[in-house]
Amino acid sequence: MKLAVVGTGYVGLITGVCFAELGHEVVCADKDSGKIEKLRLGEAPIYEPGLQEMLWSNADAGRIAFTTDLAAAVRGSEIVIIAVGTPSTATGEADLSFVERAAESIGEALDGPKTIMTKSTVPVGTNARIEAIVASRAKYPFRVVSVPEFLREGYAIRDTFNPDRIVIGTDRAAEIEAIVELHKPLTDRIFVTDVRSAEMIKYASNAYLATRISFINEIANICEKVGADITQVSAGMGQDRRIGPHFLNAGIGYGGSCFPKDTKALIQIAGNVDYDFKLLKSVVEVNREQRNTMIRKLREYAGSFSGKTFGIWGLAFKPNTDDVREAPALDIVSRLIGEGARVRVYDPAATANFRSLLNDPSIEWCTDPLSAAKGSDGLMLLTEWNEFAEVDLRAVEQTMNTPILIDGRNLFGDKIGAYSRFWYYSVGRPHLNRSFTKGDQPSAFLA
């Protein structure tokens, strides 16, 4: 099939490359000429495992092309995929301006009957709006189908080829053969529903997953006070098949380009129909508080921040991505430097993106974990990259000025006791936590 993808970001590019890999002819359009230039040179503008290689092979095979000319991409395509951003407005609602502009351009560019497939996460009613915008400009018949995207960054290619389900939202089920055909090689689990329900499934799924994270973080906070171990509690809960083991990792809370914006958008969607989504408001509040807890713990362990130097391990909102949108590190680094600290930061992939959002003379950009820890008065682990799990903790401890380790992702756990001597804090694991301000002994003695 001939596909046009509008918006070549994390979702659009992965979608384009994966459909090209399945043998389709794909043209990806983006208004960002810098991105398109890079892509034409064969360079992936984002870090996602496996993407670069798959991009090269499909570009070489002539199955994928890139353009800033949206109309040219749309012309000659059978299916047009909308994958532009829907960021938060100042009030938390989804900003639909990119989707609306894309719909206008698609409407103007239509050169024959086509299917328009919306992958962007959009509030209930938006696909109807897209349809109206396109209809006001199009001279040819078309249909709009909602196919929300559920991929995770860091596993985007794996998720695209092995989705748990494909949701297809349509109000004219007889008109979706092409969309079903397109997705059949990916899974048998194709769930066809009406458009409004499809739009809601996406927000409800993200809100539910965010709820699990805030729930387990609150349980972790209680574990700390009652002397239980959150990793044991999660493991025990997860064995109940009605609960399942996923999304029960306690820590610093969720970040990223989706959960923070989609939870806020759903609160607004509910508010717009006079429904006060109390549970989801608490989820957002608990998540915000979890970041504050990390700062409070560092202060409890290290005292005042002014004049001190702290190491930061991890800037991306999660491992295996260079994405720093709503990353906890943005908040935490800002707070530390705002209170007069210097920070030494290291991330395997996200440094450039972080630097483009937060660049300050108090930040030193390090190229390996050990140099970020060097001479520091405390170290915070904010992203659980594998590289950090493999670091020699004895070397880390020896290079630090004061061996304080605030483990925001519960990465080190029992290892902290076996190999190192730290004043350590992890979320919801009180038996591992040691603070010298409380007169504790450090976590363990060198083996």
As annotated, the active-site residues are 258
For residue 179, report the phi and psi dihedrals to the nearest 5 degrees: -70, -40
Segment near ligand NAD (CB under 6 A); pick from 118-126, 172-180, 268-276, 307-315: 118-126
Sites for ligand NAD among residues 359-388 (CB under 6 A): none
Q: Is 213 in the site for ligand UPG (CB under 6 A)?
A: yes
Q: Is 152 in the site for ligand UPG (CB under 6 A)?
A: yes
Which of ligand UPG, ligand NAD, none is residue 247 near (CB under 5 to 8 Å by kind)? Answer: ligand UPG
Segment near ligand UPG (CB under 6 A); pick from 185-193, 247-255, 342-350, 371-379: 247-255
**What does the CA dihedral 319, 92, 220, 306 come to, rounded to 10 degrees?**
80
Q: Is 118 in the site for ligand NAD (CB under 6 A)?
A: no
The string of DSSP codes covering 178-199 is: HHHHHHTTT-S-EEEE-HHHHH
Which residue matches tokens 């902290």? 416
282: left (phi over 0), alpha (psi -120 to 50) or beta: alpha
Which residue among 25, 32, 194, 300 contacts ligand NAD (CB under 6 A)?
Answer: 32
Q: Is 249 in the site for ligand UPG (CB under 6 A)?
A: yes
Q: 299 with 332: CB under 8 angstroms?
A: no
Which residue matches tokens 């395997």? 348
Which of ligand UPG, ligand NAD, none is residue 166 near (CB under 5 to 8 Å by kind)? Answer: none
- Cβ 197 to ligand NAD, closest distance in Å? 17
Q: Which of 280, 275, 158 is nearest to 209 (CA)?
A: 280
C-alpha span between 250 and 271 (Å, rounded): 29
Can you read off the two tokens belonging to residue 140? 């040819």
Sites for ligand UPG among residues 180-209 (CB under 6 A): 206, 209
Cα dihedral sign for 117, 9, 214, 278?
negative
Cα dihedral sign for 228, 233, 236, 237?
positive
Q: Is 120 in the site for ligand NAD (CB under 6 A)?
A: yes
Reading across the β-sheet that carries 166-169, which strands appear in turn?
64-67, 25-29, 2-6, 79-82, 114-118, 142-146, 166-169, 190-193
Q: Is 381 in the site for ligand UPG (CB under 6 A)?
A: no
Q: Is 316 in the site for ligand NAD (CB under 6 A)?
A: no
C-alpha span between 5 and 274 (Å, rounded): 36
Q: 412 with 405: CB under 8 angstroms?
A: yes
Which residue among 24, 308, 318, 344 contacts ligand UPG (CB under 6 A)?
Answer: 318
Segment near ligand NAD (CB under 6 A); pick from 94-102, 110-118, 228-236, 309-317: 94-102
Which residue among 13, 20, 147, 151 contacts ligand UPG (CB under 6 A)?
Answer: 151
Kindly write out the interface string for residues 248-287 of this chain, putting x where it contacts ligand NAD by CB under 6 A and - elsewhere: ---------xx-----------------------------
Which residue among 6, 168, 220, 381 contacts ligand NAD (CB under 6 A)?
Answer: 6
Q: 165 with 137: CB under 8 angstroms?
A: no
Sites for ligand UPG among residues 102-141 (CB under 6 A): 121
Q: Is 258 in the site for ligand UPG (CB under 6 A)?
A: yes
Could you say which DSSP state residue 173 is in? Answer: G
- Cβ 14 to ligand NAD, closest distance in Å? 8
- Cβ 218 to ligand NAD, closest distance in Å? 26
Could you say which DSSP state residue 227 is in? Answer: T
Q: 424 with 405: CB under 8 angstroms?
A: yes
Taking the least distance from each CB to ligand NAD, the nearer of 122 and 343 is: 122
Kindly write out the interface string for residues 152-191 of this chain, putting x where it contacts ligand NAD by CB under 6 A and - elsewhere: -x--------------------------------------
Q: Is 9 in the site for ligand NAD (CB under 6 A)?
A: yes
Q: Which of 410, 415, 426, 364 is nearest to 390 (CA)?
A: 415
Give the nearest residue (CB) to ligand UPG.
258
The string of DSSP codes covering 85-153 is: ---B-TTS-B--HHHHHHHHHHHHH--S-EEEEE-S---TTHHHHHHHHHHTT-SS-EEEEE------T
- Cβ 316 to ligand UPG, closest distance in Å? 9
Sites for ligand UPG among residues 13-52 (CB under 6 A): none
For residue 246, report the phi and psi dihedrals to the nearest 5 degrees: -85, 155
What residues line the site for ligand UPG (CB under 6 A)? Answer: 121, 149-153, 206, 209, 213, 247-249, 251, 253-256, 258-259, 262, 317-318
- Interacting residues toward ligand NAD by CB under 6 A: 6-12, 29-32, 35, 70, 83-86, 98, 101-102, 105, 119-121, 149, 151, 153, 257-258
